Amino acid sequence: MKKAFALLLLTVLCLVNYFQNSTPDQDPYLITDYSRLHPIKVTRVVKGREEEQLRDILQEAQKKHLTISIAGQRHSQGGHTYYKDSIVVDMTSYNEVMEFDPEQKMIRVQAGATWKDV
């Protein structure tokens, strides 16, 4: 009897905690940007790895008539970077500095580069 009561109490506490702390960013397919103004339900989020994988994602999206959203650090404002039912490609692993010319004050970086990477 004590074990059943303890298990029930633990279950209730877990549920209360879940609903009390539930936020849109706990759903991996409901994403938003830094502002959290406009959460969007997406098909999936894919970590960008290599060019061949990115080509495969683009071909899949074309066949299924899906939109592609590109994500970096997700710090844009207003939720305008994501599309409903899209495939989000997380480009944070593409963070290399490609070219740097201090005389021309120019730098070329990959899509996932942050100020820290630069």
pLDDT for the residue numbered 1: 78
Domains of the chain (ranges, CATH numbers)? 24-109 (3.30.43.10)
pLDDT for the residue numbered 99: 94
What sign results for the dihedral spanned by CA atoms 44, 90, 38, 34? positive
pLDDT for the residue numbered 60: 93
What mean pLDDT do residues 65-91 have? 78
pLDDT for the residue numbered 34: 56
What mean pLDDT do residues 57-78 have? 82
Paired with 99 in beta bridges are: 108
pTM above the 0.85 mark? no
Categorise residue 77: left if φ over 0, alpha if ψ from -120 to 50, beta otherwise: beta
Instruction: Measure Cα distances from 66 to 9, 62, 83, 85 in Å.
Output: 44, 6, 9, 7
pLDDT for the residue numbered 18: 61
What mean pLDDT do residues 91-98 have? 89
